Amino acid sequence: MNTGETSGTAAPTPEHGGKLVARRLEAAGVSKLFTLSGGHIFPIYDGCRERGIDIIDVRHEQTAAFAAEGWAKVTREPGVCALTAGPGVTNGMSAVTGAYENESPMLVLGGRAPAFRWGQGSLQEIDHVPFMSPVTRFAETVTSTETIASTVDRALDTACGTPGGPAFVDLPMDLVFMEGAVTEEPFAVPDPVAAPAADGSLIDRAAALLAGAERPVVMAGTGLYWGHGEQELLQLSEELGVPVFLNGLGRGCLPADHPHFFARARSTALKGADVALVIGAQLDFRLGFGGSFGEDTELIVLNSSPPSKRTERPIAAELVGGIAASLSALRSGGGEFTDSRRSWIEQLRGVESEKRAAETAELEDSRSPLHPVRVYAELAPMLDRDATIVCDGGDFVSYAGKFIDTYEPGCWMDPGPYGCLGTGPGYAMAAALAKPGKQVVMMMGDGAFGFAGMDFDSLVRHNIPAVAVIGNNGIWALEKHPMEFLYGYSVAAELTPGMRYDTIAETLGGHGEFVQTPDELRPALERAFESGKPAVVNVLTDPAVVYPRSANLA
């Protein structure tokens, strides 16, 4: 530690705890703090203001936490939020849990009732650590002003480690107002690219399986993105002739127009493959708990850390190590681009083309209210190649997973396996701040709008021109249709038909469009993009359309 006592230099003047926090954030390269104002965390604001860290305030703590995770998702750097004590922390818990499931590097700074009054019933007094511990990688209460800096450093190191995830630092109000010694040590964020490859003997086993495959396939997910493995995946696919399927944050790690990228042929490929290389993707419900693969498909599973979910599916080779280094090692011994692999790719391309051709009727559907697929047919050609797509909803967003293509890493943000609603404004805010001038589009269900709609005010106040396209069918469709199938009726599944979410956006200072027919949609989208404001394009969609669950590619 630099004490300032050498070379005749005076020790730095002690600073209050909020400034000590801000110094460590600055040392880690943090430039944004997402928050909702709270008296317990005033010193942190004071410190961040002094260090030039932007303070982005919102209307609900869940949005602050979603924005912090969103920053991590689009930058692969730690996102940071500050939540005031008690309900401030608990309001952020669903977002924190989602980040835990996504392994998103994120630091949550929690205000806490004063330590010297602990147990006497201070305002918003509750011990956060017991309920934050199960959904974070690190949860600790600071015990003195002198330990603030080291605790923040350890939390950041854990959040950015392997596996990544949220870290929580509880900061008693009195301790952050008190002064303590300054530390000016540098902070190095862990580099996943530098992580060594998996065990050599296991790499050899996996490479031999891959080399002997005539119908190999890659199924890659969020862990590929966190491991910065997109270039190695591209090289492996091209050199060895392996078709690729992507989910979660893996979307965009191989461009959607690459000849080895597939989406519609996933079932055929996973069932028909003789060897499947599963990279950073859990064998959870999204992959049928392993049942999405053929009974005779041999699985090579590669993760940067041991899988957090158990599986009953037999694994032929389980690799744990750096994603980039392990893929490079596999590529060197994984065989050649043989004629059988060319035939396999051609077969899958035929399936892909056939299934896409079968979607023409939905893409051109002229009904009013609109078929959700028609919405995406009009929207997709208007999206830039590097547009960031934010997904916040149920059935409407499930269609987005199928009909919106992604071309670059970090340009697709869905809630992940925890399935939170209300992610939209926070994720969009982070994406727009991280990528100024780039398109940011929220795909939202009308139900999802109710979770964080007031944070369009935050988008307006911070001049964030994200465009939300709302599929407004007036129901909770993923609940209403299955319930009616099971019982012949549904309850608690209705919303107000035709709700004018567009006028809410206008009242909050944004731009609003109301769309009832297909021919109104494209002009409305054009005006929304051209407005330069946070915008809502409120599209009435047909509540009778039932989303086919088997089509979900998210």
Residue 370 CA to residue 326 CA, distance in Å, equals 46
Q: Which of 16-30, 206-220, 335-349, 538-552 is the least confident region?
A: 538-552
**What pLDDT does residue 60 have?**
98
Residue 431: band (very low, low, confident or very high) from pLDDT cuts 50, 70, 90: very high
- Residue 550, pLDDT > 60, answer no
| Adjacent-strand bridge partners of 112 | 172
Mean pLDDT of 170-180: 97
Q: Which residues of 56-95 are buried (b: 16+ CB within 10 A; e: fewer)?
A: bbbbbbbbbbbbbbbbbbbbbbbbbbbbbbbebbbbbbbb
Given this model, what pLDDT does residue 549 score?
Answer: 63
Question: Rounded to whole angstroms, how far apart are CA atoms 486 and 336?
Answer: 50
Q: What is the pLDDT of residue 8?
A: 53
CATH entry, 193-356, from 3.40.50.300, 3.20.20.140, 1.10.730.10, 3.40.50.1220: 3.40.50.1220
Residue 309's pLDDT is 83
pLDDT over threshold 60, residue 1: no
Among 112-126, 180-194, 275-289, the range scoring the smallest mean pLDDT is 180-194
CB atoms within 10 A of CB 493: 17
Tell me: the pLDDT tens digits for 408-423? 999 999 999 999 999 9
Q: For 199-244, how does the pLDDT look when each residue is reduced to its tens digit (9 = 90+)?
A: 999 999 999 999 999 999 999 999 999 999 999 999 999 999 999 9
* Cβ atoms < 10 Å from Cβ of 492: 8
Beta strand spans in 289-363 (E): 298-303, 317-320
Q: Domain 15-189's class?
A: alpha beta
The pLDDT score that the predictor gives to residue 6 is 45
Q: Which CATH class for the 359-551 domain?
A: alpha beta
Residue type, 92: G
Residue 184 pLDDT level (bands cut at 50, 70, 90)? confident
DSSP letter at 55 equals E
The domains of the chain are located at 15-189, 193-356, 359-551
Residue 20, pLDDT > 70, answer yes
User: Is 193-356's fold the same as 359-551's?
Assistant: yes
DSSP track, 168-236: EEEEEHHHHHSEE-----------GGGSPPSPHHHHHHHHHHHHT-SSEEEEE-HHHHHTT-HHHHHHH
Cα distances from 116 to residues 18, 19, 131, 149, 339, in angstroms, run: 18, 21, 22, 20, 74
**Considering only 22-26, 87-91, 306-310, 450-454, which range has the smallest mean pLDDT?**
306-310
User: Is-contact 410 74, C-beta < 8 A?
Assistant: yes
Q: Taking residues 105-123, what's their average pLDDT?
A: 94
pLDDT of residue 9: 66
Query: What percent of the chain lies above the pLDDT cut of 70?
Result: 97
> Residue 3's pLDDT is what?
42
Look at the chain and count its residues.
Answer: 554
DSSP 101-157: HHT--EEEEEEE--GGGTTS--TT----HHHHGGGSSEEEE--SGGGHHHHHHHHHH
193 has a pLDDT exceeding 90: no
Q: What is the mean pLDDT of residues 370-390?
A: 98
Single pTM value for the model: 0.95
